[in-house]
Amino acid sequence: MSDNESKDSIVRRKTRTVMVGSLPIGSGHPIPVQSMTKTKTADWKATVEQIQQYEEAGCQIVRVTANSDEAAEALKKIKENIHIPLVADIHFQHRFALKAIESGVDKIRINPGNIGSEEKIAEVLRAAKDGGVPIRIGVNAGSLEKDILRKHGFPNSDGMVESALRHIEIAERHNFKDLIVSLKSSDVPMMMEAYRKLAKQVDYPFHLGVTEAGTAFQGTIKSSIGIGGLLAEGIGDTIRVSLTEPGIEEIKVGREILRSLGLVSFGVTLVSCPTCGRLEVDLFRIAGEVEKAVAHVKTPLKVAVMGCLVNGPGEAKDADIGISSGNGEAVLYVKGESRGKIREDEIIPRLLYEIEEWEKNL
């Protein structure tokens, strides 16, 4: 199973295709992982350096804030020095959206709750259409329009959907349909329900995210449930994990969500047992060191590191490369075939050797 594909494939929601630079979004195309820079956008050199780190980590679309004239002016330099599509995040000042489009960004994101009057939105739509730049309508439960909040009394999924539909209707009235939509909330059930409701009414691609998800521990769990749950239902065309952590950590979690669902195939999928009283090798150390050592590997590969003879042989045989350990030694399996026993101190170097040989022979 070197392709790491799910045995029960997920049926994706059918949408139109929206091009973000050269990257197609929707209509069953691969789901790209996004992140957002943490630097001051006006410092274009620091921003480019961070984006290049994101690229190396597997980021496929990057978003930067355009919250000042200096930031908007830096977009052109940033765009010239990166290799993935660039998205400008716009709040409050629609003129920054106009500057971003002039600077050659690949997409802009506007927040319906704070972008301004329809007249200003129409101006942005005209510029985006002329420039061939798609727009993400980024609804956020924390910044819904005041009249929608008065109507519903508090943020909820119906209010989020109403906000999205209002701005989709404005865009369509101006003959603009190059749209991607997001409905983000820090409340996971609300976010999921909003996407489900809107999915029944429009065919635009969805950008998924649990906003303000939190730190690495809670944020990863909330994002995995919210984003992963919708993806498992076939809803979602691009994702961003929002963590109070460096962007590279967001990318790692996003990629793992996709890989866990069999929606993409890259890198090493590590299978390791939770351990119990039957454990007779230092599996915590072995699994941890192997995981760190293979973080750079992009070849799709399943590696099993198992601690006893109950599930160990089956999992090890099912993996591309695996070990089933016990009594200070392990049986090594490659492509389901036993390669004999190895001592505990040989497990890590032998696994890394077999992984390296696997990559060479592809």
Residue 7 predicted with pLDDT over 50: no
Would residue 339 be called left, alpha or beta, if left means φ above 0 and alpha means ψ between -120 and 50 degrees?
alpha
SS3 172: helix
- Rounded Cα–Cα distance for residues 270 and 285 (Å): 14
Residue type, 114: N
| Cβ atoms < 10 Å from Cβ of 11 | 8
Q: What is the pTM of this model?
A: 0.88
- Rounded Cα–Cα distance for residues 343 and 293 (Å): 20
What DSSP line would sit under 308-345, residue for residue? STTTHHHHHHHSSEEEEEETTEEEEEETTEEEEEEEGG
Please name which of 237, 203, 239 lies closest in space to residue 223, comparing C-alpha atoms.
239
Label residue 362 by pLDDT band (50, 70, 90). confident
Which contiguous run of DSSP H or E holds residue 123? helix 118-131
- Comparing 7 with 178, the larger pLDDT belongs to 178
Residue 5 predicted with pLDDT over 70: no
Residue 115 predicted with pLDDT over 90: no
Q: Which residues pair with 23 in a beta bridge?
A: 20
- Rounded Cα–Cα distance for residues 236 and 111 (Å): 19
pLDDT at 8: 61
SS3 105: coil
The mean per-residue pLDDT over the stretch 91-120 comes to: 88
pLDDT at 106: 98
Would residue 64 be called left, alpha or beta, if left means φ above 0 and alpha means ψ between -120 and 50 degrees?
beta
Beta-carbon contacts of 118 under 8 Å, excluding residues fewer than 6 positions away, are 170
pLDDT per residue over 321-347, tens digit each? 999 998 899 999 999 999 999 999 999
Residue 278 predicted with pLDDT over 90: no
316, 333 Cβ separation under 8 angstroms:
yes
The mean per-residue pLDDT over the stretch 297-306 comes to: 90
pLDDT at 208: 98
- Comparing 275 with 16, the larger pLDDT belongs to 16
Domain residue ranges in the chain = 18-260, 268-360
Whether domain 268-360 has CATH 3.40.50.300: no
pLDDT at 3: 37
Residue 1 predicted with pLDDT over 80: no
> Given CA atoms 154, 158, 162, 163 in this order, what sign does their dihedral have?
positive
For 18-260, CATH number out of 3.20.20.20, 3.30.56.10, 3.40.50.300, 3.90.550.10 equals 3.20.20.20
Cα(first)–Cα(last) distance of the chain, in Å?
A: 14
